[in-house]
Amino acid sequence: MPATTLPSVMPNFSAELQQLERQALRRVRRIVSGAQGPRLQFDGKEYLAFCSNDYLGLANHPALIEAAQRGAAAYGVGAGASHLISGHMQVHEALEQALAAFVGLPRALYFSSGYLANSGIIPALIGRDGAVFSDALNHACIIDGARLSRAQVEIYAHGDVAALADKLARSTAARKLVASDAVFSMDGDVAPLRELAALCERYDAWLLLDDAHGFGVLGEGGRGALAHCGVRSSNVIYLGTLGKAAGVSGAFVAAQEDVIEWLIQRARSYVFSTAAPPLLACTLLASLQLIEAEQWRRTHLQALIARLRTGLASLPWRLAASETPIQPLIIGENQKTLELMQALLAAGIWVPAIRPPTVPQGTARLRISLSAAHSTEDVDRLIVALHAQRD
Ligand SMILES: *Cc1c(COP(=O)(O)O)cnc(C)c1O
- The CATH code of the domain that includes 286 is 3.40.640.10
With 70 as the cut, is the pLDDT of residue 228 above it? yes
Residues 6+ apart with CB under 8 A from 355: 24, 25, 334, 337, 338, 364
pLDDT of residue 9: 75
Distance 96 CA to ligand 1 centre (A): 19
pLDDT of residue 26: 87
- The CATH code of the domain that includes 350 is 3.90.1150.10
- The residues lining ligand 1, judged by C-beta closer than 6 Å to any ligand atom, are 113-115, 139, 141, 181, 185, 210, 212-213, 241, 243, 251
Is residue 45 assigned to a domain? yes
Supply the DSSP string of 253-301, one letter for each residue. EEE-HHHHHHHHHH-HHHHTSBPPPHHHHHHHHHHHHHHHH-HHHHHHH
185 an active-site residue? yes
Partners of 33 in the β-ladder: 41
Is residue 9 assigned to a domain? no
Burial class (CB in 10 A: 0-12, 13-18, 19+), 171: middle
Query: Which phi and psi angles does 160 have, rounded to 5°?
Result: -90, 95
Crossing angle between the packed helical segments 90-103 and 62-75, to the nearest 10 degrees: 140
Confidence of residue 351 (pLDDT cuts 50, 70, 90): very high
For 304-324, how does the pLDDT look when each residue is reduced to its tens digit (9 = 90+)? 999 999 999 999 999 999 999
Is residue 5 assigned to a domain? no
What's the rounded Cα separation, in Å, for the pair 332 and 366? 10
Quick one: 47 and 78 in the same domain?
A: no
With 90 as the cut, is the pLDDT of residue 289 above it? yes
Ligand 1 atom with minimal separation from the 185 CA: 15
Q: Average pLDDT in the 75-82 region?
A: 98
Look over the chain and give the mean of its residue pLDDT values, rounded to a whole number. Answer: 96
Confidence of residue 1 (pLDDT cuts 50, 70, 90): low
Q: Average pLDDT in the 72-97 region?
A: 98
With 60 as the cut, is the pLDDT of residue 158 above it? yes
Pick from 6, 267, 211, 183: nearest CA to 99: 211
CB atoms within 10 A of CB 173: 19
Quick one: 42 and 140 in the same domain?
A: no
HSE-CB for 282 with a 13 A CA cutoff: 21
Quick one: 200 and 321 in the same domain?
A: no
With 80 as the cut, is the pLDDT of residue 391 above it? no
8 by DSSP, 3-state: which?
coil
| Last residue in a domain, options 270, 292, 314 | 292
What's the rounded Cα separation, in Å, for the pair 236 and 139? 18
Quick one: 37 and 67 in the same domain?
A: no
Quick one: 228 and 314 in the same domain?
A: no
Pick from 232, 163, 226, 141: nearest CA to 190: 226
Quick one: 301 and 284 in the same domain?
A: no
pTM: 0.95
Quick one: 214 and 317 in the same domain?
A: no
30 and 46 Cβ atoms separated by less than 8 Å: no
217 and 247 Cβ atoms separated by less than 8 Å: no
| Last residue in a domain, options 292, 315, 340 | 292
Residue located nearest, by CA, to atom 14 of ligand 1: 212
Instruction: Report the share of the chain in percent with pLDDT over 90.
Output: 93
pLDDT of residue 75: 97
Residue located nearest, by CA, to atom 4 of ligand 1: 114
pLDDT of residue 358: 87
What's the rounded Cα separation, in Å, for the pair 49 and 367? 11
With 60 as the cut, is the pLDDT of residue 103 above it? yes
What's the rounded Cα separation, in Å, for the pair 106 and 159? 28
Ligand 1 atom with minimal separation from the 181 CA: 13
Partners of 107 in the β-ladder: 255
What's the rounded Cα separation, in Å, for the pair 349 and 39? 9
Quick one: 319 and 234 in the same domain?
A: no
CA dist 221 → 247, 344, 375 (Å): 16, 35, 22
For 8-64, how does the pLDDT look when each residue is reduced to its tens digit (9 = 90+)? 777 789 999 999 999 878 888 999 999 999 999 999 999 999 999 999 999 999 999
Could you give the number of structural domains in the chain? 2
With 90 as the cut, is the pLDDT of residue 4 above it? no
Is residue 366 assigned to a domain? yes
Residue located nearest, by CA, to atom 2 of ligand 1: 212
What's the rounded Cα separation, in Å, for the pair 231 and 235? 11
Is residue 3 assigned to a domain? no
Quick one: 324 and 377 in the same domain?
A: yes
Is residue 245 assigned to a domain? yes
Residue located nearest, by CA, to atom 5 of ligand 1: 114
Is residue 231 assigned to a domain? yes
Quick one: 278 and 364 in the same domain?
A: no
Q: Spell out a b/e string for 67-95, using b for 16 or more CB atoms within 10 Å of the CB, else e.
A: bbeebeeebeeebeeebeeebbbebbeeb
| Last residue in a domain, options 251, 275, 292 | 292
Is residue 305 assigned to a domain? yes
Q: Average pLDDT in the 255-273 region?
A: 98
Quick one: 328 and 185 in the same domain?
A: no
Confidence of residue 2 (pLDDT cuts 50, 70, 90): low
42 and 34 Cβ atoms separated by less than 8 Å: no
Distance 369 CA to ligand 1 centre (A): 15
Quick one: 37 and 74 in the same domain?
A: no
* Boundaries of domain holding 352: 25-56+295-387
Distance 212 CA to ligand 1 centre (A): 6
163 by DSSP, 3-state: which?
helix
Q: Average pLDDT in the 341-359 region?
A: 94
What's the rounded Cα separation, in Å, for the pair 155 and 145? 14
Pick from 256, 276, 261, 250: nearest CA to 208: 256
